[in-house]
Structure 1
Amino acid sequence: MAELKLEGLCKAFGSQFVVRDLDLTIPEGAFTALLGPSGCGKTTTLRILAGLEHLSSGRLLLGERLLADARVHMPPETRDMGMVFQSYALWPHMTVAENVGYPLKLRKVQGAARQKQVMEALEVVELAAYAGRSPQELSGGQRQRVALARCLVSEPQVVLLDEPLANLDRHLRATMEQTFRDFHRRTGATFVYVTHDQAEAMALASHIAVMNNGELMQWGAPQTLYQHPDNAWVAGFIGKGNIVSLAGLADEQDLDSIQLHNGLACGHNGPRQQVLIRPEHVQVTDNGLAATVESCIFQGERYLLALRLQDGQTLSAFHHSPLREQQCTGVRLLQGWRLEAA
């Protein structure tokens, strides 16, 4: 195993850059998500890693081995990577075992050796009993696991996954998330997982690269991105929360209740700074800052409140019981994160 290094990766189609100056080092054995809205360049980045797209500039290395730069382009079959597509890409005229064994067939692995590796891969995804079936006889989740087994059978150093859960219903997605966790733990391979679903990325990945307009916005652990976003765009894209404008703040980024309430009390005096406040850090009380309930949404185990402060700024809060729209209440801000100026 080896780390995957992206150094100044650029990809342009004509005069339009889809990926621009992407610098990223993905640790060996990490489960990394490329997260961002549609059109941000994450799938193009994955295709560059796989060798399905040529670089415009920059370098791609697996350990010390150069996979691609402006002049070198190693073909996909030599990169020691496996890819799982959103569409599963299973051959309908082949059985499950034949689909899984196809990469071994291309490598001229024959007879009992190939059968043994195929069955071991199917056992990992708990589909050994389905070896003789055709893909048409399987559910969506089972087909996805066949695609995983086909990827696993060649024992790649890097596994690339392109929105593999996008075609599944919510219940099946949760089941497959656990399958991916188990799959990653058993193989020890480096995973690069493309998704536009932040909940999916936060639940699965040990590292997340947040992309927008072809550029890397922030890279880090899920907890870091949620609690300490680098800028207002990341703060708005990751998780629920509100960005409020406060005056009279000190230089530190972690702000406590006193600092937040003092910042709001300053009104419009002095320079103002943007602060992210998550809903779990807004407490509904009988006193505190005056706020009006604008909406109350039932979420099963709790209610999500949309609140408006007296200065017109908005907050979100969780609460254990419903409040009426236009009801007046008090709120206490427990903590916030000051965002760096753009």
Structure 2
Amino acid sequence: MATLIPSSDLPARGLRLHGVHKEFAGQTVVDNLNLEIEEGSFVALLGPSGCGKTTTLRMIAGFDTLSSGRISLGSTVLASDHQQLPPELRNMSMVFQSYALWPHMTVADNVGYPLKLKGYKGSDYQRRVREALATVQMEPYAQRRPQDLSGGQRQRVALARCLASEPRVVLLDEPLANLDRHLRASMEDSFRDFHRRTGATFIYVTHDQAEAMALADRIAVMHKGQLVQWDAPEALYQRPQNAWVAGFIGQGSVVRLPLSSSERLLSSAQVQQALAALQNKPSATEEVLIRPQHVELDPAGVPATVTHCVFKGERYQFVLQLQDGQSLQAYHWQGLPTGAQIAITVRQGWRLQEQPAGSTRPTLASVA
């Protein structure tokens, strides 16, 4: 698979991964990864378990060595296949999924621990700890121990510890995975505020596309150790590179349609014409992504059958069967019984590139 390299020039203080490769026991985990991250940006490494995103983060942090390639921050080479700058000299902080707080220390001592390692003492030390705790609204809990805090509070302490050391780069390894849905939403706000206050570069590892979309300026989608798309969240959703990305990002259906045009963004008329042509069983078809919000009930549209319907609170979600047996997802404000014969109009579609050799498309999100 071709590795994607952004064409824009990287600012002098940005983070650059060039040809980064990592093997464990002869098995490739990260495969020739090229990535350029602007200083002060919020970037997500997104992908399913085993795609290499956490290994990439650990190589940036200095916890894992490279098999080949180079990682640099500005003009400083952090790691290559023949040198390795120790983690403590990289001016980075890492927030772990497990919080990694010392249980025998108070909240204040946990936050101040990296400052002590850097030699801070006295009033300067106390001021930095106090300011870091105030930033995450944990100053009243300074003398408590981690076991006396909730999961969300522990994560705030981990953020405060990170803030106190004033890093250039903040690395976050699935930091919300252990929190319930309500706390996750609250902590997303904290991360956004934390990023705004510090101005540091954030690199956020997650398998949760909703988290990545809500937080990041740009997202690196990884699959089997390779970078498959590097884009803004809106572009990933609206213009996925291929069927694998289309299935991994957001709700949607990939159908094969006979197309007479070369455009990637297909108009309603183009999609409707292709849908109508399915009854003639065309031999040449191409993959097209259709998002459920672009499917509308329309008496003048093409026929479809409701095969599944689930109430989602603010709307109903359907699976519709087309004339040739392919399925589409759709939303509607009113429920319809299974087996109902309806007609639909599709407002737009997105032509996908051919699937890379050896790739396996993820299962598209189902209604059930």
Q: Same fold (TM over 0.5)?
A: yes
Q: Is 1:222 paired with 2:233?
A: yes
- Preserved CA contact (<8 Å) 2:256 2:285: yes
- Preserved CA contact (<8 Å) 1:248 1:270: no
CA deviation map 1:54-102 (0-9, x unaligned): 0000000101110000011000000010000000000011000000000
Residue of structure 2 in register with 1:138 after alignment: 149
CA deviation map 1:303-342 (0-9, x unaligned): 1111101111110011011111111111100000001123
Residue of structure 1 in register with 2:200 after alignment: 189
Residue of structure 2 in register with 1:6 after alignment: 17
**1:55 aligned counterpart, secondary structure:** coil
1:253-292 to structure 2, matched below 5 A, reads 253-267=264-278, 268-292=281-305
Q: Is 1:303 paired with 2:316?
A: yes
Residue of structure 1 in register with 2:362 after alignment: none
Q: CA deviation at 1:111?
A: 1.1
Residue of structure 1 in register with 2:29 after alignment: 18
**2:300 aligned counterpart, secondary structure:** coil
Output the CA distance in 2 between the equivalents of 1:152 and 1:104: 10
> What residue ranges of structure 1 are gaps of 5+ in the alignment?
none
Residue of structure 2 in register with 1:209 after alignment: 220
Output the CA distance in 1 between the equivalents of 2:174 and 2:128: 26
Residue of structure 2 in register with 1:248 after alignment: 259
Aligned counterpart in structure 1 of residue 91 of structure 2, from 60, 76, 80: 80
Runs (4+) of structure 1 moved beyond 4 Å?
Answer: none
Q: What amino acid is the match of 2:119?
A: K
Output the CA distance in 2 between the equivalents of 1:307 and 1:240: 14
Residue of structure 1 in register with 2:211 after alignment: 200
- Preserved CA contact (<8 Å) 1:248 1:266: no
Aligned counterpart in structure 2 of residue 178 of structure 1, from 189, 212, 235: 189
CA deviation map 1:32-66 (0-9, x unaligned): 11000000000000000000000000000101110
Q: CA deviation at 1:265?
A: 2.5
Q: Is 1:124 paired with 2:139?
A: no
Aligned counterpart in structure 1 of residue 116 of structure 2, from 105, 112, 119: 105
Q: Is 1:233 paired with 2:240?
A: no
Q: CA deviation at 1:298?
A: 1.1
Residue of structure 2 in register with 1:47 after alignment: 58
Q: What amino acid is the match of 2:298?
A: T
Residue of structure 2 in register with 1:167 after alignment: 178
Residue of structure 2 in register with 1:68 after alignment: 79
Q: CA deviation at 1:137?
A: 1.1
Q: What amino acid is the match of 1:322?
A: G
Output the CA distance in 2 between the equivalents of 1:133 and 1:2: 38
> What residue ranges of structure 2 are gaps of 5+ in the alignment?
1-11, 356-368
CA deviation map 1:177-234 (0-9, x unaligned): 1010110111111000000001111111111000010000100100000000011100
Name the TM-score, length of structure 2 as normaliser: 0.92
Residue of structure 1 in register with 2:7 after alignment: none
Q: CA deviation at 1:270?
A: 4.8
- Preserved CA contact (<8 Å) 1:293 1:327: yes
Q: What amino acid is the match of 2:33?
A: L
Output the CA distance in 1 between the equivalents of 2:286 and 2:295: 19
- Preserved CA contact (<8 Å) 1:287 1:329: no
Name the TM-score, length of structure 1 as normaliser: 0.98
Output the CA distance in 2 between the equivalents of 1:264 and 1:126: 55
**1:133 aligned counterpart, secondary structure:** coil
**1:167 aligned counterpart, secondary structure:** coil
Output the CA distance in 2 between the equivalents of 1:340 and 1:108: 54
Output the CA distance in 2 between the equivalents of 1:200 and 1:304: 22
Overall identity of the aligned pairs, in % = 60
Residue of structure 1 in register with 2:336 after alignment: 323
Q: What amino acid is the match of 2:204?
A: Y
- Preserved CA contact (<8 Å) 1:11 1:17: yes
